[in-house]
Amino acid sequence: MPELPEVETTKRGIEPWLKGTAIEQIIVRQPQLRWPVADDIQQLTGQVIRGLQRRAKYILVETDAGTAMWHLGMSGSLRLVEPDEDARLHDHIDWRLSNGKILRYHDPRRFGALLWLPPGEDWGDNEYLAHLGPEPLSSDFDGDYLYQRSRGKKQAVKTFVMDGKVVVGVGNIYANEALFMAGIRPTTAAGRISKARYLRLVEHIKEVLARAIEQGGTTLRDFVGGDGQPGYFAQQLDVYGRGGKPCRKCTQPLTEIRLGQRSSVYCPRCQR
């Protein structure tokens, strides 16, 4: 599924085409997504897009009338198309823009969403955003914070850092990679890890996410960026998807297990 770097890549890809542009028409072909598309979304018709922001894996499109919140779900994508390009199967929503482009939402599994945030509503009060932890690339997320949140936790460190209430956007791919870079075994209890190791882990979480964003996200199955082009970070992965293959540091075969119903790959020699 699209993770934080993929969502950030999409936001950056579509932002230059949307900011300052008016939404002339909204076409909803399939309103039954993860949550039904609210009728209020039509209030965006005729509105000028003031800006785009990302919070966790939501893309927020701001206008004077309110804010639209896109979530790509497991297989969703937003891309810009020409007005004469026919809608395909699973092209569920179009925004016709005043610059002649169409912002098109494609989602075969329909686990994504288009939500509505009324004007003046504080993000901290919104039911979808209020419970979220800090952004991983912000100064609010550091080793001291993660260490304090981990005290007394018996859950595996991998599932701990993937908890959106602890920190947003550290999905399965990037948790695998950051733990490998930090030399921490994903099954280790979060409460047993020292502050020094958390300081190192946070550095690598920030590094792997920033690198993925720079290179355009990670191509997995359905994901494409806002310009229709795939990301390329998948070519750089050290452990994810490489179970049984030699570790790139020590050549020991990588171990693959199921942890929290997700695939976890680690080196039994390099990660303790």
Instruction: Write the DSSP string, 157-179.
Output: HHHHHT-TTTSSS--HHHHHHHH
Statement: residue 120 has pLDDT above 90? no
User: Residue 221: what pLDDT?
Assistant: 47
d(CA 271, CA 212): 22
Which residue among the candidates 11, 57, 185, 242 is catalytic per the annotation? 57
Active site residue 245: no
Using one digit for the tens of pLDDT, what is the confidence trace for 4-16?
988 998 999 899 9
Q: Which amino acid belongs to residue 200? A: R
User: Residue 214: what pLDDT?
Assistant: 84
Active site residue 253: no
Band (231; pLDDT cuts 50, 70, 90): low
Using one digit for the tens of pLDDT, what is the confidence trace for 43-60?
999 999 999 999 999 999
Statement: residue 232 has pLDDT above 60? no
Where does 143-266 sit in CATH, by number? 1.10.8.50
Band (230; pLDDT cuts 50, 70, 90): low
Cα-based distances in Å from 227 to 33, 80, 140: 23, 6, 31
What is the reported pTM? 0.88
Band (103; pLDDT cuts 50, 70, 90): very high
User: Residue 3: what pLDDT?
Assistant: 84
Can you tell me the mean pLDDT for 67-95?
A: 94
Statement: residue 34 has pLDDT above 90? yes
Which residue among the candidates 19, 34, 262, 269 is catalytic per the annotation? 262
Can you tell me the mean pLDDT for 153-179?
A: 96
Neighbouring C-beta atoms of residue 76, cutoff 10 Å: 29
Residues 265, 176 contacting (CB under 8 angstroms): yes
Tell which phi-psi region holds residue 143, choosing left (phi > 0), alpha (psi between -120 and 50) or beta: alpha
Higher-pLDDT residue of 212 and 224 is 212
Residues 174, 209 contacting (CB under 8 angstroms): yes
d(CA 248, CA 260): 25
Q: Is 153 annotated as a binding residue?
A: yes
d(CA 181, CA 18): 37
- Within 8 A by CB and 6+ apart from 80, the residues are 14, 17, 101, 102, 103, 104, 226, 227, 228
User: Residue 225: what pLDDT?
Assistant: 59
Active site residue 2: yes
Query: Hey, where are the domains in the chain?
Result: 4-125, 143-266
Identify the CATH assignment for 4-125 out of 3.20.190.10, 3.60.90.10, 3.90.180.10, 3.40.1190.20: 3.20.190.10
Q: Is 101 annotated as a binding residue?
A: no
Q: Is 90 annotated as a binding residue?
A: yes
- Within 8 A by CB and 6+ apart from 112, the residues are 33, 34, 70, 71, 72, 73, 74, 75, 76, 105
- Within 8 A by CB and 6+ apart from 55, the residues are 123, 129, 132, 135, 168
Active site residue 3: yes
Take residue 100 and report the two structure tokens written for it. Answer: 């002649």
Statement: residue 223 has pLDDT above 70? no
Which residue among the candidates 3, 8, 177, 256 is catalytic per the annotation? 3
